[in-house]
Amino acid sequence: MLPKRLDLKAFLSFPLRWVEPASTEGWIPGWGRLPLTAVFASLGVWVLSIGYSRARNGLDGGMFLFWAGMTAVYFPIAIRFVAKDLRRHEAVGMIILLSLSTFLFSYLRSPLLFRGFDEFLHWRTAYDILQTGHLFTYNSLLPVSPLYPGLENATVALASLSGLSIISSGFIVLGVSRLIMLLGLYLIVERITKSAQVAGIAAMIYTGSSTFLFFDTQYGYESLALPLAALAVYMLLRRAASYGRTYWAWTLLIAAVLFSIVPTHHVTSYLLIAFLVLWTCTDLYVQWLGWEGADPFALAAWLTFLSLLWIGTVGRITLEYLSPILSGAYDSLVGLLTGQSAARHLFENSAGQGAVIFERIFAFSSVAILGIGLLIGLWQWWLRYRRNSIAFAFAIAALVYPALPLMRLSAGAWEVSNRMSGFIYVALAFIVAIGMMEFPLPTSGSRIRPWIVAPCVILIFVGGVVAGSSPQTRLPSPYLPAAESRSIDEEATMAAEWSRKILGPNNRMAGDRTMTTLMGAYGTQRMVVNLSDDVSISGLFLRYKVTDSDREIIKKAQIRYLVIDRRISTVLPILGYYFEKWEQLIVQFVPPVNISALEKYDTTKDVSTIYDSGNVVIYDIGALGNAP
């Protein structure tokens, strides 16, 4: 039945009432406004999915709908977290809502397939575990991946018991991990501040980390390890309030959680050790001053011991794998600071495509808000929480934040900055949240706090999204050759599945970057790559004739098959190369690669063309390596 007349005043004041204790209409005891917020969030997810669909089909408007959907999810939640009448049930419910919504933002981009480069590598590790029933199988695409099988263990456990595929099981594990991360952070901050509001805002600020939306929901080891680290920190806080046998039960379980992080992700283990050592120092300090501590020392030592043991036994190649990344970042940063190298262009991907101006403004605004929030937060921390040892440790860790935007100016260090943000933002979110929520305002001004805090939180989130993804990679898109995840289409995927079923696993094969990941993962082939085989395969594809040196490479690397996607000859590669970074040093050519070079095997003696799906071709070149 339609109302007799529209109450215009009530209608227009609805946004204001959203933050007020509404004792009559719109108010549901216990749940607060959670049910209605859930409807808004689901509508936001729906709008965003329409944006994805339009982008996937090459239609305009996708980006607008993306931001509109995000806002529909974020704004009501942010407003409710600063409402006076927020109750814990509603706060926890909104954290769950936020976790699920942000997971769906990532999941709906590609719900049927993993598409990220790292995701393929870990899928292969999980597949090998499922097939062999054992860990530590060899993965030529990323040899370090099978040595840290935590994520794959959880996936395989779920796949084995539920009958779901690796991809479906992986998505469920990732969704649960997202929930653990945000709920864990919420409970940590709530435990320190005794405030659901501050805890909720801290969780929302954390979503502004550049890795949060997409990187930390990809099928990679950090996506599980970071939530486990948050869980361990929360449990350490809870243990401090227990005694007797319960204390030792907590200790045992925390020890198990820390143990599980070691075989899950190397960097998370090391950064958690650093944090626990820092916390131990602040803990000793506050105890020396006569205040209560949490005694994290023994568990910090335990994690250190396990990490060293793992590196010394299973993960021997870890340092070899990490050191070039870290030394490259260091050299690049030193080069930038000493003026020996130019600054990196911000908001541009490696193909030179950039963000639009309003995104740049939002990203700079978010850095400014976080910077100001950090200063105010440190002041509030000093006034209210300096006797709390973990708050003390967070305050020190948050001081690293100003270095992160600076590191983004360096070509070699920006990725380290990007990866670090997932960790540093835990501390930063706490400090900025207490700055925003506990900064004293005059009574007359307290009503405006929600209207300052909520937009700031949304701006921080938008800034994180802009910093973590370029507009070209943020949304799904129609097929594009030589463009990383955008080059994964049904034809290429079916070629990989064909090779697994017909050729069988672990044939030595070479291809361009996209086909290498597809064949190495879904195709379960043993892809020949420089990292594992110490040969360069670019010349096999880029030269117009098969030379003696090519035959040498085929022989040395025992390459049996070549896989070629002819479509790469129609475009410039998004990363600047098709096969290997140094391919121009092996064969100088003006991109795009000439189709004649790719098709030379059609007429090469002793080569068989065994597969043709129009664009994707597989050659059997085994005889070339064995010819005299």
Residues 423-482 that bind other proteins (CB under 8 A): 476, 479
Asked if 501 is part of the footprint of other proteins (rule: CB under 8 A), the reply reads yes
Q: What's phi and psi for 618, nearest 5 deg?
A: -120, 130
Among 304, 532, 584, 615, binds other proteins (CB under 8 A): 615
Please, what is the minimum distance in Å from the beta carbon of residue 582 to other proteins? 30
Please, what is the minimum distance in Å from the beta carbon of residue 316 to other proteins? 17
Please, what is the minimum distance in Å from the beta carbon of residue 86 to other proteins? 14
Asked if 259 is part of the footprint of other proteins (rule: CB under 8 A), the reply reads yes
Among 84, 88, 387, 556, binds other proteins (CB under 8 A): 88
CB 618 within 8 A of CB 602: no
Please, what is the minimum distance in Å from the beta carbon of residue 148 to other proteins? 10
SS3 7: coil
Asked if 110 is part of the footprint of other proteins (rule: CB under 8 A), the reply reads yes
Among 215, 234, 362, 541, binds other proteins (CB under 8 A): 234
Please, what is the minimum distance in Å from the beta carbon of residue 91 to other proteins? 9
Name the strand (E) or helix (H) holding 249: helix 244-261
x-marked contacts with other proteins along 9-48 as a string, rule CB under 8 A: -------------------xxxx---xx-xx-xxx-xx--
**Please, which residue, 313 or 588, has the CB nearer to other proteins?**
313
Please, what is the minimum distance in Å from the beta carbon of residue 114 to other proteins? 13
Please, what is the minimum distance in Å from the beta carbon of residue 239 to other proteins? 9
Among 20, 22, 53, 360, binds other proteins (CB under 8 A): 53
- Structure tokens, 557: 């690397």
Please, what is the minimum distance in Å from the beta carbon of residue 618 to other proteins? 8
**Please, which residue, 165 or 340, has the CB nearer to other proteins?**
165
The number of angstroms, rounded, from the C-alpha of 613 to the middle of its chain's C-alpha atoms is 34
Q: Give me the DSSP letters along 483-507.
A: SGGGG--HHHHHHHHHIIIII-S--
x-marked contacts with other proteins along 295-334 as a string, rule CB under 8 A: ----------------------------------------
What per-residue string of b and e applies to 183-198 under the rule 16 or more CB within 10 Å gives b?
A: bbbbbbbbbbbebbbb
Which residues between 156 and 215 bind other proteins (CB under 8 A)?
156-166, 169, 172-173, 176-177, 179-180, 183-184, 186-187
Please, what is the minimum distance in Å from the beta carbon of residue 57 to other proteins? 8
**Please, which residue, 180 or 527, has the CB nearer to other proteins?**
180
x-marked contacts with other proteins along 504-543 as a string, rule CB under 8 A: x--x------------------------------------
Q: β-pairing, 608-612 with 616-620?
A: antiparallel
The number of angstroms, rounded, from the C-alpha of 380 to the middle of its chain's C-alpha atoms is 31
Q: β-pairing, 616-620 with 561-565?
A: antiparallel
Among 5, 134, 194, 545, binds other proteins (CB under 8 A): 134
d(CA 36, CA 57) in angstroms, rounded, equals 32
**Please, which residue, 262 or 300, has the CB nearer to other proteins?**
262
Asked if 556 is part of the footprint of other proteins (rule: CB under 8 A), the reply reads no
Q: What's phi and psi for 77, nearest 5 deg?
A: -70, -45
Among 4, 194, 245, 545, binds other proteins (CB under 8 A): 245
**Please, which residue, 249 or 308, has the CB nearer to other proteins?**
249
Q: What's phi and psi for 565, nearest 5 deg?
A: -100, 110
Q: Which residue has the tokens 């607060």?
A: 32
CB 48 within 8 A of CB 108: yes
Which residues between 55 and 84 bind other proteins (CB under 8 A)?
56-57
- Structure tokens, 287: 């105890």
d(CA 235, CA 270) in angstroms, rounded, equals 19
d(CA 296, CA 197) in angstroms, rounded, equals 27
Please, what is the minimum distance in Å from the beta carbon of residue 439 to other proteins? 27
How many residues bind other proteins (CB under 8 A)? The answer is 108
Which residues between 268 and 297 bind other proteins (CB under 8 A)?
none
Among 304, 341, 349, 608, binds other proteins (CB under 8 A): 608
d(CA 459, CA 367) in angstroms, rounded, equals 9
Half-sphere exposure of 384 (CA within 13 A, CB side): 18
Closest CA relative to residue 206, chosen from 98, 48, 88: 98
Please, what is the minimum distance in Å from the beta carbon of residue 35 to other proteins? 3
Asked if 233 is part of the footprint of other proteins (rule: CB under 8 A), the reply reads no
- Structure tokens, 490: 């049904």
Among 227, 293, 463, 539, binds other proteins (CB under 8 A): 227
Among 59, 64, 84, 89, binds other proteins (CB under 8 A): 89
**Please, which residue, 150 or 463, has the CB nearer to other proteins?**
150
d(CA 482, CA 350) in angstroms, rounded, equals 13
Half-sphere exposure of 593 (CA within 13 A, CB side): 29
CB 175 within 8 A of CB 103: yes
Which residues between 363 and 402 bind other proteins (CB under 8 A)?
none
Please, what is the minimum distance in Å from the beta carbon of residue 500 to other proteins? 9
d(CA 50, CA 42) in angstroms, rounded, equals 12
Asked if 129 is part of the footprint of other proteins (rule: CB under 8 A), the reply reads yes
Asked if 2 is part of the footprint of other proteins (rule: CB under 8 A), the reply reads no
- Structure tokens, 417: 């900055």
Please, what is the minimum distance in Å from the beta carbon of residue 605 to other proteins? 7
Helix axes 357-384, 389-398, angle to 10 degrees: 150
CB 517 within 8 A of CB 495: no
Please, what is the minimum distance in Å from the beta carbon of residue 175 to other proteins? 10
| Alpha-helix runs per DSSP H in 82-209 | 88-107, 117-132, 150-162, 166-193, 196-206
